[in-house]
Amino acid sequence: MDIAWGDPACNVATADRMIRENPGSDLYVLPEMWTTGFATQPEGIAESDSSESLEWMKDTADRTGAAIAGSIAVRCQDGSYRNRFYFVRPGGLVDFYDKHHLFTYSGEHHRYTAGERKVIVEWKGIRFRMIVCYDLRFPGWARNAEEYDAMLCVASWPTPRVGAWRTLLKARAIENQCYVLGVNRVGTDPACQYCGGTAFVDPYGEATECKDSEASTLNAEIDMDALAAFREKFPVLKDRDLI
């Protein structure tokens, strides 16, 4: 998506249109802070933890029969701000992961509270590990202890560092012997420019990507039989460091 700065209604309309133009998926993944853009100063831009955007995610999951995932800048009832990655399934079932590694380079840690929980959700027989943007740089946090099959990473990863984004997506897929779905935005905000690089990476590190700098969709399929066969033939996860 090209995210309109600080305009949840506009961004919900964009996401709704893109999903309607791509029917039939089991899971739709949106970028980091997809309703507002990446806001390090959340006052006046963050939504409540019962926002209209979250309600749209619930309604869309019910309408499509699919899960909807993406992060939102949230102001919680206790007054704290969270970069909250929602995973919404039909029937109003909502899981969430709060970004653990806040992006200190931009000052995100000054206003947001880091999450401490590692979160894995199951949908359609696939176990998904949820991470957000800067988390991608920390392999220990993302390490697969044979707990998940695919990693979801939503991001607002700017153009100057997109080479690292592409490399890290592949590294996380290879070392964790999993699929990686990396969803990044395009466009600009008051601080940065974004060229995308949204990618679907298989457990061998082979990537299929969206076109750079274009708002677009990428459709891909997780092959659980192929993943199970690869893990059985080459069981590298069983030799991981137990630390």
CATH number for the domain harbouring residue 144:
3.60.110.10
pLDDT digits (tens, 9 = 90+) for 179-198: 999 999 999 999 999 999 99
Give the mean pLDDT of the chain: 97
What is the H or E stretch that residue 55 is in? Answer: helix 52-64
pLDDT digits (tens, 9 = 90+) for 123-137: 999 999 999 999 999
With bands split at pLDDT 50, 70 and 90, how would you rate the model's confidence at 242? confident
Residue 79 predicted with pLDDT over 90: yes
Give the tokens for residue 60: 């869309």
- Report if residue 102 sits inside a domain: yes
For the chain, what is the domain count? 1
- Report if residue 3 sits inside a domain: no
pLDDT for 136: 98
Q: Under 8 Å CB-to-CB from 56, ≥6 apart: which residues?
A: 12, 15, 16
- pTM of the entire predicted model: 0.97
- Report if residue 221 sits inside a domain: yes
Residue 116 predicted with pLDDT over 90: yes
Give the tokens for residue 187: 């466009």
Among all residues, which ones are annotated catalytic? 32, 99, 133
- Report if residue 2 sits inside a domain: no
